[in-house]
Amino acid sequence: MSLKSFSDFLSFEKKYSSNTILAYSKDVEKFQHFLLKCFDISDLKKAHYSEIRRWITVLVDSGLTNRSVNRKISSLRSYYNFLIKTGSIRYSPLVKHKALKENKKIYVPFSEQEINDVLKSFNGNDFETIRDRLIIELLYCTGMRRNELIKVKIKDIDFIQERIKVLGKRKKERYIPLVGPLKKSLNNYIYYRKQLKIIKDSELLFLTKKGAKLYGAIVYRIVKIYFQIVSSKVKKSPHILRHSFATHLLKNGADLNAVKELLGHSSLAATQIYTNNNISELKKIYKNTHPRQSKIR
């Protein structure tokens, strides 16, 4: 079974993004090359777990983190599950494999003060300044992912019903409320966007100053540049703004299920990681409000 068939399966049936499909395909190709080089096996269907285990050892010895290795094995697992689905094999060689233990990532969100300081730091009325400010404001006020922000179209913004349509992972649509000063910022940006001399991608909301589609590296750079002025946190990225969005909502009493829907998570487990940052705040509330604590004071 060709890798092209596997890619088509991921695209049309699983509806994975092009980046995910590319990553999965590369991982399977690398294992295929390893299998041929080290064991003289050219057919992936003939691989056993012993060969895969040896590949895992090589990957770990090369310096890859357990998280990266697990991702590659996940790609391989998907490929073998695809072969089972198409009747090419009966059992996956990874059926009894257990993922390597990973160190949990700890994301430190920006504080509300840091975000306010950044939004206040913008000066100027040129297109790029207005755009960059809106990018940061939109990421924080909606919690959308970087790739989701890049794909937002003008028609996805509904000022009347005060909502934005977002195309998430696996092309799953969701609506996020459009409230407060964000509407004013959007209208302001759209006005400046119309002044561009050339607009190559007329449907998309965010463009470069040359009127072309915005790409991920620009969004990452914008967040990093502005937040390094006000924050000493090691990680400064669009994902940290998404993390801040969720953390601040939960801190101020938002329902976990509501935050899950806003973030576009498929399960609560993915959303619950954001509750970890609220433990210190919850301890304060507990000490100040629990009857037993009140008696102790």
Secondary element (H or E) of residue 293: helix 291-296
Q: How many CB atoms lie within 10 A of CB 110?
A: 25
The residues annotated with a catalytic role in the active site are 145, 169, 239, 242, 265, 274
Q: What one-letter code names the amino acid at 158?
A: D
Secondary element (H or E) of residue 149: helix 146-151
**Which residue's structure tokens are 């996956």?**
92
Query: Kindly report the CA angle at 65 between 99 and 54, in degrees rounded to 5?
Result: 60
C-alpha 267/C-alpha 30 separation (Å) is 31
Six-digit token pair at 225? 């540049």
Six-digit token pair at 117? 């300081």
Asked if 165 contacts 107 with a C-beta cutoff of 8 angstroms, the reply is no
C-alpha 98/C-alpha 96 separation (Å) is 6
Instruction: Determine the length of the chain.
Output: 297
Six-digit token pair at 153? 């179209």
Six-digit token pair at 76? 């391989």
Secondary element (H or E) of residue 3: helix 3-8
Asked if 209 contacts 84 with a C-beta cutoff of 8 angstroms, the reply is no
